[in-house]
């Protein structure tokens, strides 16, 4: 009877949790339920005797991933006012695809927003190096025997030194000025140091006591730092390890579970053009809130408490393999 019940649960997509759910399942009330296919949304969660109930996305909505969301995403609309047209319509499993009209190119504002700007036309004494496409603007360069000066292509002339030669002169002049300033600063610092040594001869014993006290404090800090386990990583290395292991589509879910707010997530996306750097900033916001250690010449390191919190959240999101690899890499027991 038990074998028949287990076989029925396997066929229906419902399993009682004895280990983390598979990626195509989600956990609810101690049960692994089947997720909805792309193009569908969740209507009713599964039970121990029934599978999840899913329904197709409505017109004007889509879902392009397996999910257990009760809502679908709204389809994009190609805007005539933005000089774009529709390449392919919205389907229940894919968003509308828009493209800039001929004579316009895509200028990205952020990862999801862009404007269609008019293609640049090469000016007088310029030649087209790369034509305008839907994705990139026209690239122009000066004609032969012309050079760019103050944004315009002007004829090359002996009376007008080449910009590269002018740059060399400016660079050499800057180096000379820096060298003179360096010599002057060195002289002033040396003179002050000599005067200080002369004035400090009478108080050498008190200065030596101060040095001994500072040395003792430094030794104490280094001893405390040495008590930290070797497996505690530096924050940048640790964050990049997490980025390499966590799937891109689950990164926002992870940082939200770690307490990073939507405002901080949006700020990270605005500050960084590329998703990986935005995700790095989100994780760093979380890591900098947690207890950490800075001392001597060492960089910031992550406390074991922080590592254990992250490993717990990874397992809750069914990313056990990522958690295990981090445990192995940093020898966390």
Q: Break the chain into its structural domains and give their ranges.
A: 2-74, 102-155, 163-199, 235-329
Q: What is the pLDDT of residue 220?
A: 44
* Maximum average pLDDT range among 3-7, 14-18, 43-47: 43-47
Q: How far apart are CA 76 and CA 61, in angstroms?
A: 9
Q: What is the pLDDT of residue 3?
A: 40
Contact between 326 and 283 under an 8 Å Cβ cutoff? The reply is no
Q: What CATH architecture applies to the domain 102-155? A: Ribbon (2.10)
CA distances from 191 to 64, 196, 204, 314 (A): 72, 9, 19, 60
Range with lowest mean pLDDT among 81-90, 148-157, 175-184: 148-157
> Mean pLDDT throughout 220-244?
64
**Same CATH fold assignment for domains 2-74 and 102-155:** yes
Q: Which CATH superfamily is domain 235-329 in?
A: Death Domain, Fas (1.10.533.10)
Q: What is the pLDDT of residue 221?
A: 37
DSSP assignment of 45-77 equals ---SSSPPEEEEPPTTEE--S-B--SSPEEPP-
Q: What is the pLDDT of residue 179?
A: 94
Residue 83 half-sphere exposure, CB side, CA atoms within 13 Å?
15
* Maximum average pLDDT range among 36-45, 103-112, 151-160: 36-45
CA distances from 122 to 16, 35, 101, 131, 156 (A): 67, 53, 19, 10, 19
Q: Is residue 56 very low, low, confident or very high in pLDDT (cuts 50, 70, 90)?
A: very high
256 against 231, higher pLDDT: 256
Q: Of all residues in the chain, what percent carry a pLDDT higher than 70?
A: 78
Q: Per residue in 100-131, pLDDT tens?
A: 999 999 999 988 889 999 999 998 889 999 99
50 phi-psi bin (left φ>0, alpha ψ -120 to 50, beta other): beta
Across all residues in the chain, what is the average pLDDT? Answer: 82
Name the DSSP class of 195: H
Q: What is the pLDDT of residue 327?
A: 85
Q: Per residue in 293-320, pLDDT tens?
A: 544 444 567 777 778 888 898 999 999 9
Range with lowest mean pLDDT among 7-11, 162-166, 180-184, 297-301: 7-11
User: Across the strands, what pairs with 98?
Assistant: 86
Q: What is the pLDDT of residue 162?
A: 59
Q: Is residue 150 very low, low, confident or very high in pLDDT (cuts 50, 70, 90)?
A: confident
Q: What is the pLDDT of residue 183?
A: 95
Q: Is residue 64 very low, low, confident or very high in pLDDT (cuts 50, 70, 90)?
A: very high
Inform me whether the pLDDT recorded for 4 exceeds 50: no
Q: What is the pLDDT of residue 139?
A: 95
Q: Per residue in 173-223, pLDDT tens?
A: 999 999 999 999 999 999 888 877 777 665 565 556 555 555 555 454 345
- Fold type of domain 2-74: Tumor Necrosis Factor Receptor, subunit A; domain 2 (2.10.50)
Those residues whose C-beta lies under 8 Å from the C-beta of residue 58, and which sit 6 or more positions away, are 72
């Amino acid at each position: 009877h038990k074998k028949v019940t287990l076989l029925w649960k396997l066929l229906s997509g419902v399993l009682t949790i004895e280990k983390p759910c598979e990626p195509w399942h989600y956990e609810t009330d101690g049960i692994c339920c089947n997720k909805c296919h792309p193009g569908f949304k969740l209507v009713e969660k599964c039970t121990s005797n029934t599978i999840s109930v899913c329904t197709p996305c409505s017109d004007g909505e889509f879902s392009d991933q397996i999910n257990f969301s009760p809502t679908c995403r709204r389809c994009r609309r190609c805007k005539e006012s933005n000089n774009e047209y529709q390449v392919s319509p919205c389907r229940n499993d894919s968003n509308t695809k828009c493209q800039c009209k001929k004579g316009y190119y895509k200028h990205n504002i952020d990862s999801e927003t862009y404007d269609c700007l008019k293609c640049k036309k090469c000016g007088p004494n310029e030649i087209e190096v790369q034509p305008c496409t839907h994705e990139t603007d026209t690239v122009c360069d000066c004609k032969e025997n012309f050079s760019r000066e103050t944004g315009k292509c002007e004829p090359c002339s002996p009376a007008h030194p080449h910009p590269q030669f002018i740059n060399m002169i400016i660079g050499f002049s800057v180096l000379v000025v820096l060298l003179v300033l360096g010599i002057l600063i060195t002289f002033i610092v040396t003179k002050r140091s000599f005067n200080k040594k002369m004035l400090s001869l009478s108080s050498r014993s008190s200065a030596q006591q101060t040095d001994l006290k500072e040395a003792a404090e430094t030794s104490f800090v280094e001893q405390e730092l040495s008590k930290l386990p070797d497996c505690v990583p530096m924050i940048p290395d640790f964050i990049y390890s997490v980025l390499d292991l966590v799937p891109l589509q689950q990164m926002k879910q992870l940082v939200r579970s770690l307490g990073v707010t939507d405002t901080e997530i949006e700020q990270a996306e605005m500050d960084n053009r590329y998703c990986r750097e935005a995700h790095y900033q989100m994780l760093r916001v979380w890591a900098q809130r947690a207890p950490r250690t800075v001392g001597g010449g060492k960089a910031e390191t992550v406390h074991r408490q922080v590592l254990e919190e992250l490993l717990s959240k990874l397992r809750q999101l069914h990313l056990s393999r990522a958690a295990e690899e981090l445990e192995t890499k940093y020898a966390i027991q």
